[in-house]
C-alpha cells in the first residue's frame, strides 16, 4: 500500500556528492576531540596493542550467525537505503549491514579493517522510511569518517573496565581512555547526524527520528518546536551547580542528549556551509592529503571560542567573562554558583542586601 504522504519525498530527488570528503560535514568539536584523544598518555600504546588483539573475525561471525544480514532477499528496503546512502556520499564499498534482535532502538558502525553497520529491531520498528534513511546515512557517515575503529575500541574497553574494576590502578588507566573515547564519540555523533541529513535531505524526518528516539512512537503527542525549546531551556537554565550536573550526567554516555543533537543539527542546516555543500561546493577526498592539520586545529579552536561567546549556559558565560577580563570575578563566581544575582555584593559590604543565598540554605536545582 502506498503512503500518499511520501509521494514527493526527497528520496526521489536527492543531490549526490561525488568525491565528498568527511571534512565537509565533520563537526569541529569532533576533530579537536579526536586530536585530544590521540594525545592522551598511553593511548597510542593501547591502540596498537588492541588493534592486534580485538577479535574482529569473531565479531563478524557473531553477527553472521545470530543476526539477519541485510540484502536483496532480507530487509530489502534497508538494503536499498544502504546502497543509496553509499551512492550519495560516494562510499565505494558498501559495508555489510545486520539487523539484530533488541527492543532498544540503536544503531552502530563498528569494525577495524572494514566497517559493519548494525541496527536493532527496536529502531527498525520505531522509524518510518525517511527517518530510517537519515539513520542509515548517519552510520554511513561514521564509516566514511573512519569512526568505526575507535567505536570498536570503546566497546571493548568499556567491557574490559567492568571486568577489571577490582584492580584499582588498572581500572583508573582504562577508565581515563574510556572517558576520552566517550567524549570524542559524543562529538562524532554530531558529525554523523550531519551526514544523515546530507543523505536524507529532509530535516523534518531527521527531527522526527530524534524525537522518536527520545519519546517513542507518539508523534501525535510531540512537537518539533517544543522539543527544540527543551534544548534551549536545558542549555541556559539554572546556575553553575546545574552546569556541573550537566557535565556529570553526560560523562557516562556515548551519545549527546537527544534534544542537544536536534538543536545542533537544525542550527547547522541553516548555515552557509550546509547550503554550499548542497550547491556542490565542498572539500573532496582527493584534497585530504593536502589538508593542513594546523588549519583544522585553528578551525576547532575558533568553534570553541564562538561556542563560549554565544552559549547561554551559566558555566560557559562565566568562562567568557574570565576570558574577557570581567571585574569582580570572585563575586561573580560566588553569585553564579549559588544562584544569586548577576552583580557583586550590595554597597555596604558583604553583609548587604545583595548577599546571595548560602548553598546550604536551600536545595540545589537538579540538572537535566
Active site residues: 139
Inter-residue contact 67 to 101 (CB < 8 Å): yes
* CA-wise closest residue to 195 among 9, 24, 11, 35: 24
Q: Which three cell numbers stand for residue 225?
A: 518546536
Pairwise CA distance, residues 298 & 114, whole Å: 31
Distances (CA, A) of 353 to 144, 156, 362: 59, 56, 18
Q: At 303, phi and psi to the nearest 5?
A: -60, -45
Pairwise CA distance, residues 182 & 169, whole Å: 20
Q: Give the DSSP H or E segment for 48.
A: helix 43-53
Pairwise CA distance, residues 319 & 83, whole Å: 45
> Cell 518510518 sits at which residue?
128
Amino acid at each position: 500500500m502506498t503512503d500518499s504522504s511520501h509521494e514527493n519525498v526527497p528520496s526521489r530527488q536527492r543531490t549526490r556528492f561525488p568525491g565528498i570528503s568527511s571534512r565537509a560535514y565533520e563537526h569541529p568539536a569532533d576533530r579537536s576531540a579526536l586530536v585530544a584523544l590521540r594525545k592522551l598518555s598511553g593511548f597510542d600504546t593501547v591502540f596498537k596493542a588492541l588493534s592486534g588483539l580485538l577479535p574482529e573475525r569473531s565479531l563478524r561471525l557473531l553477527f553472521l550467525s545470530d543476526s539477519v544480514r541485510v540484502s536483496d532477499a532480507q530487509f530489502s528496503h534497508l538494503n536499498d537505503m544502504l546502497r543509496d546512502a553509499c551512492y550519495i556520499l560516494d562510499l565505494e564499498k558498501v559495508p555489510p549491514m545486520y539487523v539484530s534482535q533488541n527492543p532498544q532502538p540503536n544503531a552502530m558502525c563498528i569494525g577495524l579493517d572494514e566497517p559493519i553497520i548494525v541496527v536493532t529491531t527496536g529502531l527498525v520498528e520505531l522509524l518510518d522510511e525517511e527517518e530510517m534513511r537519515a539513520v542509515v546515512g548517519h552510520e554511513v557517515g561514521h564509516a566514511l569518517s573512519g569512526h568505526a575503529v575507535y567505536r570498536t575500541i570503546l566497546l571493548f574497553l568499556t567491557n574490559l573496565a567492568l571486568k577489571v574494576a577490582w584492580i584499582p590502578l588498572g581500572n583508573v588507566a582504562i577508565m581515563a581512555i574510556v572517558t576520552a573515547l566517550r567524549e570524542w564519540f559524543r562529538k562524532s555523533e554530531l558529525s554523523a547526524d550531519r551526514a544523515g541529513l546530507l543523505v536524507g535531505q529532509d530535516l523534518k524526518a531527521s527531527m522526527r527520528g530524534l524525537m522518536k528516539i527520545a519519546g517513542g512512537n507518539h508523534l501525535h503527542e510531540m512537537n518539533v518546536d517544543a522539543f527544540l525549546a527543551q534544548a534551549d531551556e536545558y542549555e541556559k537554565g539554572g546556575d553553575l551547580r546545574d552546569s556541573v550536573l550537566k557535565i556529570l550526567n553526560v560523562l557516562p554516555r556515548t551519545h549527546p542528549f537527544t534534544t542537544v543533537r536536534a538543536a545542533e543539527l537544525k542550527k547547522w542546516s541553516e548555515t552557509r556551509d550546509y547550503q554550499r555543500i548542497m550547491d556542490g561546493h565542498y572539500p573532496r577526498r582527493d584534497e585530504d592529503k593536502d589538508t593542513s592539520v594546523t588549519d583544522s586545529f585553528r578551525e576547532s579552536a575558533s568553534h570553541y571560542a564562538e561556542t563560549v561567546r554565544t552559549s547561554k549556559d551559566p558555566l560557559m558565560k562565566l568562562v567568557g567573562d574570565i576570558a574577557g577580563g570581567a571585574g569582580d570575578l570572585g563575586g561573580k563566581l560566588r553569585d553564579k554558583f549559588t544562584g544569586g544575582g548577576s552583580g557583586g555584593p550590595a554597597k555596604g559590604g558583604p553583609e548587604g542586601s545583595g548577599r546571595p543565598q548560602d548553598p546550604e540554605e536551600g536545595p540545589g536545582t537538579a540538572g537535566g
